[in-house]
Amino acid sequence: MVKKPVLPLRELFRSPLTRMTLLSILISSIPMVGAWAASKWMIPWADKVAGSADVGYKAATQGYWALGAVSGKLRRRAICQLVGTPHQLFSHQPRSTALTMAMFQLTAPLKASFHPIVFLQGFVATLFFAGWHSACRSSSPPGCAPPAPAWLTTPAVSPRPSE
């Protein structure tokens, strides 16, 4: 068996791959920063507000977020079939933004709505890391990617009937 030569990593930063590599780094870092930001500020915030009243509140907050994250991971295949592969990354951005904003602006630690929103934020924000490509492919017949949603493939203007 002939072993293929391993290309050095620097090949990724040479033309014609440079643009794609940098774009990939940018796109993949955004959900990481977003999820990090939520968990980075959510926990000390919960501790600051609720720490003196309930010492376990910070841990419960982290637990709700983790539970949401795990639930999202487990439901990825069903979500993949609902959303479709091509634009799931785009459609997740406003959802994640809205839920993170809601968590920080519309509710607060010790309010009844805080932990449910923390759960939902964990569910949505970590769906970016759900391994969409493999999940969507494995829910389709071998070698066949799932069909794109109808609104993506149907032309906005119907073709003229042949004369």
Please state whether the peptide bond connecting residue 161 to the residue before it is cis, i.e. omega within 30 degrees of 0.
no
Name which position in 18, 97, 139, 153 contacts other proteins (CB under 8 A).
97
Name which position in 33, 55, 59, 74 contacts other proteins (CB under 8 A).
33
Q: What is the DSSP letter of 102?
A: I
Does residue 60 belong to the site contacting other proteins (CB under 8 A)? no
Does residue 85 belong to the site contacting other proteins (CB under 8 A)? yes
Does residue 59 belong to the site contacting other proteins (CB under 8 A)? no
Alpha helices of the chain — where are they, by DSSP H? 18-50, 57-74, 76-83, 88-101, 114-125, 132-138, 150-153
* Short-list 25, 26, 43, 24, CA closest to 121: 43
Does residue 74 belong to the site contacting other proteins (CB under 8 A)? no
Q: Rounded to 5 degrees, what are φ and ψ at 88?
A: -65, -30
Q: Which residue has the tokens 């959802």?
A: 95
Name which position in 13, 17, 18, 40 contacts other proteins (CB under 8 A).
40
Does residue 79 belong to the site contacting other proteins (CB under 8 A)? no
Q: Which residues bind other proteins (CB under 8 A)?
A: 4, 20, 23-24, 26-27, 30-31, 33-34, 37-38, 40-42, 44-45, 48, 85-86, 89-90, 93-94, 96-97, 100-101, 103-105, 108, 133, 136, 145-146
